[in-house]
A = this chain, B = another copy of it.
Amino acid sequence: RYLKDSSPSSTRLSRYRRIVLLTDGFSTPFYAKTAIGLLRYRGNDVVAVLDRKCAGQSTGELFGVGDATPVVGSLDGLHADALFLATALVGGRIPENWRRILFDAIGKGIDVISGTHEFLSEDKEFSKLAEASGANLIDVRRNMARETSTGQPLHEGCLRIHTVGQDCTLGKMVVSLEVQRQLAQDGLDAQFIATGQTGIMISGQGLPVDCIVGDFINGSVESLVRRNEHHDILVIEGQGSISHPSFSAVTLGLLHGCAPHGLIYCYELGRQTVKGLDGVPLLDHRTLIDAYLANASLRQPSELIGIAINGRNASANEVESEKRELEARFNVPACDVYRHGAKPLADAVLRLDAERKR
């Protein structure tokens, strides 16, 4: 029964081994960030990307990740076990010209996984066909999160690190995953906590914070954190930005719900305006970092422990000089996890952990 599987915490998501990523018509880095994340962190489970116009290329050519994984024009002959809708579309709607592809997948009995705000399982045509074919329709954003906060302190033996940013779509999830992986590699019990559709699709669990009803955002995040407090360290993925005209509600609910001890501030070098909005200028780092710290400390004393530079549109020299300047200005390590790895940030987590235990 497809509706039972529409839970964001379903670990069923982790079990797929022959995933096709649907980015049809939206194969740019901004829109296809879900595909790029899945190729980067679940590349072995992905058999193809589906984009009718780009068919014949490799994902390495198209996105710079996933090497020779093919871009195809249809599902034929792929023996896929799941089709992931792998774009982040503003407004979260399913493009009209995707419906034929979805009918094809569902008809073939392939599970379809969606992170859109518009739910597959509420579409009568999709769900009727799925019932007939046995395909599961999984809406990652669909949730009945209905928890409020107790306001009581969280477990102090669990160190909570949270990535926050200057804007959306600049790598908070990647930084969180890289820091968690570095900590795990260093032998620590660190857990990545997904709070967005791509993170949930990668890790198979988490909470779609941006799709929770207002009154329950903080409390549901707090609950998610409490369910994971048996780990020594949590690295909690951030969302949006505290100054984002559309998404600041989600950002603050998440910040207060996870009550972090340490913040990692993320930004993209060279970005001047809010992504997806016309000419709305971004605020400067100092203003935003102050805003994050002040807001976090309304609930829990928090400090900046590091800065993650996304240097995808900058030269190595520019990143280096930016790094030095930021480190001098904010007195914390800065790095580009794509270029330098996450070691400087993971070490900052360990220093905070040691300080707190002293």
Contacts and interface: CB of A to CB of B under 8 A. Distances in A.
Interface string A138-151: 00000000101111
A150 B246 CA distance: 8
B210 A211 contact: no
A256 B250 contact: no
A17 interface: no
A185 interface: no
B219 A215 contact: no
B291 A287 contact: no
Interface stretch (A33-41, A42-50, A128-136, A276-284): A276-284
Most buried by B among A146, A253, A283: A253
Contacts of A92: 215
A202 interface: no
A248 B222 CA distance: 13
Contacts of A287: 298
A78 interface: no
A187 to B, nearest CB: 34
A213 B213 contact: yes
Contacts of A248: 218, 252-253, 256, 298
A275 to B, nearest CB: 11
A121 to B, nearest CB: 16
Given A152-B280, A277-B150, A295-B295, A213 B215 contact: no
Contact of A152 (B149, B152, B249, B278): B278
Interface residues of A, number: 48
Contact of A247 (B152, B218, B245): B218
Chain multiplicity (copies) = 2
Interface in A239-263: 242-254, 256
Given A146-B91, A256-B245, A294-B291, A214 B151 contact: no
Contact of A215 (B148, B250, B278, B294): B250
Interface in A84-126: 90-92, 117
A280 to B, nearest CB: 4
A245 B253 CA distance: 9
A254 B249 CA distance: 8
A249 B151 contact: no
Most buried by B among A91, A213, A280: A213
B249 A253 contact: yes
A299 interface: yes
20 contacts: A91-B146, A91-B148, A92-B215, A148-B246, A149-B245, A150-B278, A151-B246, A151-B277, A209-B214, A213-B213, A213-B214, A214-B214, A214-B250, A217-B250, A218-B249, A248-B256, A249-B253, A249-B256, A291-B295, A294-B294
Q: Which 7 A-B pairs have the closest CB atoms?
A: A249-B253, A151-B280, A149-B245, A151-B245, A243-B298, A151-B277, A217-B249
Given A149-B245, A217-B250, A245-B299, 9 more contacts: A150-B245, A151-B246, A151-B274, A212-B214, A213-B214, A214-B249, A249-B252, A252-B252, A252-B253
